[in-house]
Amino acid sequence: MNNILITGGAGFIGSTLANFYCKDHKVTIVDDLSMGNKSNLDLSDNIRFIEGSVTDVQLMSELLKNNQFDYIFHLAAVASVADSVERPVETHQVNFDSVFHLLELIKVNQPKLKRLVFTSSAAVYGDEPTLPKQEESVIRPLTPYAIDKFAAEKYVVDYYHLYQIPTSAVRFFNVYGPKQNPESPYSGVISIMMDRYKKLLKKEETSFTMFGDGTQSRDFVFVDDVVQALNLVATSKESLGEVYNIGTGESIDLNDLVSSLDELLDSQLPVQFLEERSGDIKYSLADISKIKAIGYEPKYTIKAGLEKYVSYEL
Ligand code: UD1
């Protein structure tokens, strides 16, 4: 039984990961509940929940001094690109400073750590047009979010090379699935769409706001595949000091996404078109050959993932 720390563990991806691990391992969660929710977590004696922020240096110091972890997954972040454009100083504290502090705390207090996995983002590639994105592709972060993720990721990997701290980093493409919070205008687009469909099916007045013309495309990856990928990266030897894309290797544009959901739910979501968001990336698609080489195989096409998500939500 391993001792696992998941920051951001009450959030969408973190809670799915925590619920996966708590069957066989002890899981400690630090989450400030800014986007996450305790109700996302399975009730289990194996889960210890600490309400607090990863930017709280004292809290994190005490936690890492008083506990020896086998694995640490650092998922706590302000996940919204648009939010980072609005609040660059605040989001920098969460998306960058917390990582740097964590690395230093690990260096001093966690001699038996097997792996720190840091979750970075496909946003680091920016809108340089070559697709699909390989880990070695041009990096062109366009927003405070992307700059913070890239800088943090670099530190994480360098701490392996410089100090032999066992680390890996992953770049999430667009993750979706149950428990993704649709409440904020900055939430992941599929969770927002799902929320609007729910209203539509209840015959409430609603519409989806499309920023831009809907031809922007994303590599949407179902959260269960992300959990599989995180577990592989954390436990494989080859992944030490390495960075991996986590996606599916397929993309879809937003207009087609709405059409697919319309068909699946036998309805027609009203769409309102607005100006595109500043800092928005036009096309995004992952090359996943590197992570496939350590055993990853996505199980969900976008169609299969949407079906599973819909059956969970409705
Ligand atoms: C997303 C993630 C980010 C991750 C990145 C990796 C979220 C909130 N953001 O950013 O954490 O690092 O992928 O690729 O999950 N849109 C609309 N209407 C809406 C909301 C969004 O048209 O109501 C559009 C956006 O303008 C954008 C697309 O949908 O073109 C996707 O937006 P979003 O889900 O916020 O994700 P990313 O910005 O790609």
Q: Is 284 helix (H, G, I), strand (E, B) or coil?
A: coil
Give the residue among 117, 100, 230, 106 at the shortest CA–CA distance from 155: 100
- Inside any domain, residue 165: yes
Same domain (yes/no): 160, 184: no
pLDDT per residue as tens digits for the range 44-102 = 999 999 999 999 999 999 999 999 999 999 999 999 999 999 999 999 999 999 999 99
* Beta-strand relationship, 208-211 and 115-121: unpaired
75 and 161 housed in the same domain: yes
Percent of the chain at pLDDT exceeding 90 = 97
Query: If you average pLDDT over residues 154-159, what whole number do you get?
Result: 98
Q: Are residues 115 and 236 in the same domain?
A: yes
Query: What is the number of structural domains in the chain?
Result: 2
> Which pLDDT band, with edges at 50, 70 and 90, does 175 fall under?
very high
296 assigned to active site:
no
Please tell me whether residues 123 and 208 are part of one structural domain: no
Say if residue 112 is in the same domain as residue 86: yes
- Answer positive or negative: Cα dihedral of 214, 215, 216, 221: positive
What is the extent of the structural domain holding 96?
3-175+221-246
Q: Whose Cα sits closest to atom 32 in ligand 1?
A: 189
Q: Which of 145, 155, 176, 197 is catalytic?
A: 145
C-alpha separations of 275 from 101, 201, 212, 272 in Å? 38, 27, 5, 10
Residue 218 predicted with pLDDT over 90? yes
Q: How far apart are CA 77 and CA 237, in angstroms?
A: 26
Q: In whole angstroms, what is the distance from residue 218 CA to residue 253 CA? A: 6
- Residue 173 CB less than 6 A away from ligand 1: yes
**Is the peptide bond preceding residue 144 cis, with omega within 30 degrees of 0?**
no
